Amino acid sequence: MYKKSFLAFTAALMLGLGTLPARAADITMTISATLDSPALSGSDPLGAAGGTGTITITIRKTLKPTAHTARSATYRLAAGTVTATVDGDTVTNPSPFTMKISFPAAGPDTLVLSGKVSEDGVTVPISATASLAKGSFTKAVLKHPQAFTPSTQNLTAPTTYPGPGSTLSYTLFGSKTVLGVTGTATD
């Protein structure tokens, strides 16, 4: 049970924003992802490598950042706003998450989600990075979330860690595991 919930939630985290009923002022994304095997770093005590999932994500365009710099914006996603389905099981986030969108002068644009998931009394901190094409986001993201462009992008895992690419990390009992992520992001 814990592994299925974890896999579903990590798929959501990998590309998850908030799921809300779609309105004209929302951004909707669909993500299909696989957690690559073997782990890039750590022992993967949850056996998450090789897990797959699909998620539909909707976030309000009117959401305001909690902080920003000249090249990034950080948003707070409320509890219950991230939903994923893996192997027929659906899970949502039990506590708020942080979403940071960065568009550096050099290198790929990134979307980083972090928070904690809990199952059977065990809390697991998770951080996920989606590495998108350079120029996917504009400065408009400093005021509100925006759809990325191009609207369909492949997510690729780094060949080494640390390195550029999409990843998921989790810490269980003081041990950190980093997994590469491959898949497709569409909005």
Give ∠ CA 57-63-129 in degrees, rounded to 5.
Answer: 50
Residue 13, classed as helix, strand or coil, is helix
Annotated domain spans of the chain: 2-186
Q: What is the pLDDT of residues 124-163, one digit of tens each?
A: 888 888 899 999 999 999 999 998 999 999 999 999 999 9
CA 110 to chain centre: 10
| Residue-level pLDDT at 117 | 75
Question: If you ran DSSP here, which 8-state letter would residue 41 be given?
Answer: B
| Residue-level pLDDT at 88 | 63
Question: If you ran DSSP here, which 8-state letter would residue 65 be given?
Answer: -
Contact 115, 76 (CB under 8 A): no
Q: What is the pLDDT of residues 94-122, one digit of tens each?
A: 888 888 999 999 989 998 888 887 767 77
Greatest Cα pair distance, the chain, in angstroms, is 44
Instruction: Say if residue 84's pLDDT is above 80.
Output: no
| Residue-level pLDDT at 136 | 95
| Residue-level pLDDT at 113 | 83
Contact 70, 58 (CB under 8 A): no
Question: If you ran DSSP here, which 8-state letter would residue 38 be given?
Answer: S
pTM of the model: 0.84
Residue 7 parent element (H or E): helix 2-15
CA 49 to chain centre: 16
The rounded mean pLDDT for the chain is 81
How far does the chain reach from its first CA to its final CA, in angstroms? 30
Instruction: Say if residue 24's pLDDT is above 70.
Output: no
In sequence order, what E strands does the chain have?
26-35, 52-60, 67-68, 72-77, 83-86, 89-92, 97-102, 109-119, 122-132, 152-155, 167-172, 175-186
**Closest to 53 measured CA to CA, from 82, 30, 32:** 32
